[in-house]
């Protein structure tokens, strides 16, 4: 089954993945996994985002591809962006991580104190 068929079957309902198999190794991982945000978009929005990325963010090219106006492209982008949460790609380290780095000698005690004081 491909992703478009799966997306149509779920009809926008939340999906929990409970089993994942690594194709090359056959290793199976079981648990409760949430789909990435982009995979939770409708098929149409996934195609739209893919086209946007492939066009390197060119709204003019998107206008030509979809045969719609600039405001239509912007409105759709804004709607999709509004449905996505920001993902912090550089989260602050946990207390345990700071202490582990200190223990390994990767940072000084002064650096560790500074980092720990900055944590919420």
Q: What is the pLDDT of residues 8-21, one digit of tens each?
A: 788 777 778 899 89
Q: Quick one: 78 and 97 in the same domain?
A: no
Q: Identify the CA nearest to 74 among candidates 85, 62, 90.
A: 62
Mean pLDDT of the residues in the chain: 90
Confidence of residue 62 (pLDDT cuts 50, 70, 90): very high
Domain coverage including residue 95: 90-120
Q: Which helix (H) or strand (E) holds 19?
A: strand 16-21
Q: Quick one: 44 and 94 in the same domain?
A: no
Q: Quick one: 52 and 24 in the same domain?
A: yes
Q: Quick one: 41 and 74 in the same domain?
A: yes
Q: How many helices (H) and strands (E) does the chain have?
A: 6, 2
Look at the pTM and tell me if it is higher than 0.85: no
Cβ proximity of 102 and 112 under 8 Å: yes
């Amino acid at each position: 089954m491909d992703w478009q068929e799966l997306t149509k079957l779920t009809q926008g309902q939340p999906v929990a993945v409970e089993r994942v198999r690594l194709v090359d190794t056959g290793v199976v991982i079981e648990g409760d996994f949430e789909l990435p945000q982009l995979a939770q978009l409708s098929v149409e929005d996934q195609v739209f985002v893919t086209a946007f990325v492939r066009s390197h963010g060119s709204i003019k090219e998107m206008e030509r591809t979809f045969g719609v106006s600039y405001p239509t492209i912007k409105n759709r982008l804004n709607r999709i962006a509004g449905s996505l949460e920001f993902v912090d790609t550089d989260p602050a380290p946990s207390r345990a991580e700071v202490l582990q780095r200190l223990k390994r000698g990767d940072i000084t005690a002064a650096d560790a104190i500074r980092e720990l004081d900055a944590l919420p």
